[in-house]
Amino acid sequence: MGVSLEEMVAACRPYTRQGQLPGYIPALKQGDPSRLGACLLSCDGRLSQAGDWDVSFSIQSIVKPILLLQALLDNGVDTVRSHVGVEATGKPFDAINYTDQVLDSQHLNPMVNMGAIAVCSLIRGGSYQERFRRLLDLTRLLAGEESRIQVNEDVYRSEKANGSKNRALAYLLKTYGIIRDDVEDVLDCYFHACAISTDCGGLARIGCVLANQGRRPGSGEALVPPEYARFVNAILTTCGMYDGSGDFAVRVGVPAKSGVGGGIMAVAPGRMGIGIFSPALDPKGNSLAGTRLLELLSRELDLSIF
């Protein structure tokens, strides 16, 4: 790498001034838009970090691939695919008008809110509290450090108090029989999931497990079956950056998932996992400076899979 990670973070920090903090979740609006940090973890265990890499933030939609992994572990690919589709929607992450036809499960994508809410109902457990605990345990297993993975209760309460659109999505799912459980129970699991917090290091570790065919970086310990890691990576490639996924594929070219908390988890298959944080967002809901940094990293390290 001709340019250091520290230099790349410094070069991209001016982009933090061009984004906006999300206003519809009050707890996220309190963030510092000048933050930018990154962590790279190679599949053989080498670590690089720079900038505000150790600042904790809520992962928001970055929990969606973990939700999908938990559903795959509990049910297998065929059952999951019978409940949610895999096609990109071309719509914003919180869109309601997915189709002018009758809504069915194949209209849902697990990387947007409606699909992720449906996926919550596929996680096994005697209660939704137990389902969330199992999801949190999986997140901690993938990240490798329990202390880095906590729930931000302020963010959870803020999302729950301001989640009218997600409630509309969930009740629409209930109307069409796609979820059968109590809507508020499902949503409580989803709001808690989005409030899981970590730093760039946690995201890099999770991304590296996906990059390493489900194995822990360094040790090679198998955490999830390789076919499930490939399944998740394929969906991240086409759908992980909301309705900016196509442009991201052209500019960066790796599986990735963003969240409105400002995080991006990127996967360079066979090479590394990347965690980035910068809370100021572009109009699509992706970290603006974070995306620019990933574009620079992809160019410098030849990361694109295309």
What residues act catalytically? 61, 64, 190, 242, 260
DSSP state of 87: S
Separation between Cα atoms, residue 131 and residue 215, nearest integer Å:
23
> Within 13 Å of residue 202, how many CA atoms lie on the same side as its CB?
26
Separation between Cα atoms, residue 255 and residue 95, nearest integer Å:
22
Separation between Cα atoms, residue 152 and residue 52, nearest integer Å:
19
Map tokens 């309705």 to a residue. Answer: 243
Separation between Cα atoms, residue 55 and residue 53, nearest integer Å:
6
Task: Quickly list DSSP for 167-185.
Answer: HHHHHHHHHTTS--S-HHH
> Within 13 Å of residue 150, how many CA atoms lie on the same side as its CB?
10
Do 54 and 198 form a contact (C-beta atoms < 8 A)? no
Who's near 77: CB < 8 A, 6+ residues apart?
Answer: 227, 228, 231
